[in-house]
Amino acid sequence: MSQTIPPARILITGGAGFIGSNLIDRFLELGHEVVCLDDLSTGYEHNISHHYEDPKFEFIKGDIRDLETCKRAIEDCDYVCHQAALGSVPRSIADPANTNSVNIDGFLNVLIAARDRKIKRFVYACSSSTYGDSKKLPKVEEEIGRPLSPYAVTKYVNELYADVFAKSYGMQCVGLRYFNVFGKRQDPNGVYAAVIPLWVKKLINHASPVINGDGSHSRDFTYIENVVQANEKALFTPSKEISERRKEYYNTGLDKHKYLMQSEHGSDGDKAGDEIISEIFNIALGGNTTLLQLFDTLRDSLAQFDPAIAVIQPRFGPLRVGDIPHSQASILKAETILGYRPGYDAKEGLTRAAKWYHQSLSELPSQASPELEMSKNLQLK
């Protein structure tokens, strides 16, 4: 698919962060122009500085909470890939107002700028946290529960806004519900570091990671390259293919008008396509890895570089309030409609990630606190 896409100009918000910077690498590699809008609040210049000499790359340091900044960044862009947000469930519990302001007000600004620019497609990061207290497994896009954190509320509101904008203004909006993404450039530092980079850092420093609970809880850990592929497909799969495959997935044309309507707002053909699109896809591996399996795989991978790591045992801590025991996605919708095919299983991804961390961790700035791991979590992200 990628070879047939004419070069485009893509705005990637949050491009200095973990997922966004991997997207930038890929889209530049494909020959596209990329504009990165990021305020560097949780991202880093060292994630993108290797592109500074590339004439196809532009970095705008700015805040998505400023509408004019969003409009300036989106000028001349064909597509938007919106990743900027304040991640982390514990952060949102500690400071719900700030999470709300970035994740909802900021999101709305980017969406408004995308609407005004008549962007071809608006792809945005949403989250498995939207499944909230639903116990159903695997998670299917239509069946969500009640949110368990302010972060989850913001990510669900994003979906509602995108849906309303698609229908009200004739846009193409595709939300990708990521499930616990990991890999190259995920930040191991700071009090809100995610479980995998945190444990890797502990192991490399010959310290014992803390497992909350007995280690039987599981998540659908998703390697970054799978997420990059999903974004590419979400941006560039032609709308007619999405429309046709959607019917195949739902096996009915009856609800067509609920989600996929002919635009009343007159797309100009050059910009938004002929059809409105408002879709949500789970983006995951479609598997489950327990915390104990995660620990074993990380330890075995890192022990190849440092045999002393092989004898490290985990410590066990209390379960966290609000943690659900298991999360696993159905990825059938993304497979059927987008042709998404995760190329890396959890073990292969973890092995690659461990190798990357081992090679680069010593070069990253360290800001970790000694008690960092006690505040870590296995929250749905």
Ligand X SMILES: NC(=O)c1ccc[n+]([C@@H]2O[C@H](COP(=O)([O-])OP(=O)(O)OC[C@H]3O[C@@H](n4cnc5c(N)ncnc54)[C@H](O)[C@@H]3O)[C@@H](O)[C@H]2O)c1
Which residues would be at the binding site for ligand X (CB under 6 A)? 14, 16-20, 38-43, 63-65, 83-87, 102, 106, 125, 127, 178, 180-181, 187, 381
How far does the chain reach from its first CA to its final CA, in angstroms?
A: 29
Query: What minimum distance in Å lies between the beta carbon of 53 and ligand X?
Result: 21
| 198 secondary structure, DSSP code | H
Nearest alpha-carbon partner for 257 in 246, 249, 248: 246
E-strand spans in 235-327? Answer: 277-283, 289-290, 315-317
Distance CA 233, CA 358 (A): 31
The angle subtended at Cα 197 by Cα 157 and Cα 368, nearest 5°, is 95
Round to whole Å and give the CA distance between 13 and 295.
Answer: 32
Q: Specify the residue, 65 or 71, whose C-beta has the smaller distance to ligand X.
A: 65
Residue closer to ligand X, measured from CB, 87 or 209? 87
Of 295, 281, 305, residue with least CA distance to 347: 295
Q: Write the CA distances from 247 to 176, 253, 272, integer angstroms.
A: 19, 6, 21
- Asked if 75 contacts 52 with a C-beta cutoff of 8 angstroms, the reply is no
Catalytic residue chosen out of the listed positions 131, 151, 178, 357: 151
List of residues 6+ apart from 202 with CB closer than 8 A: 208, 209, 373
Could you tell me the smallest distance in angstroms from the CB atom of residue 364 to ligand X?
13
Distance between CA atoms of 344 and 110, rounded to whole angstroms? Answer: 31
Give the shortest CB-239-to-ligand X separation in angstroms: 24
Place of tokens 């004898």: 311
Choice between 154 and 267, CB closer to ligand X: 154
Nearer to ligand X, 65 or 355 (CB): 65
For ligand X, the closer CB: 275 or 373: 373
Taking the complex as a whole, how short is the minimal distance between the CB of residue 42 and ligand X, in angstroms? 4
For ligand X, give the closer residue by CB, 229 or 267: 229
**Least separation in angstroms between CB 227 and ligand X:** 8
> Is residue 156 flagged as an active site residue?
no
Least Å distance, CB 18 to ligand X, is: 4
Task: Tell me which amino acid residue 108 is.
Answer: L
The residues annotated as belonging to the active site are: 151
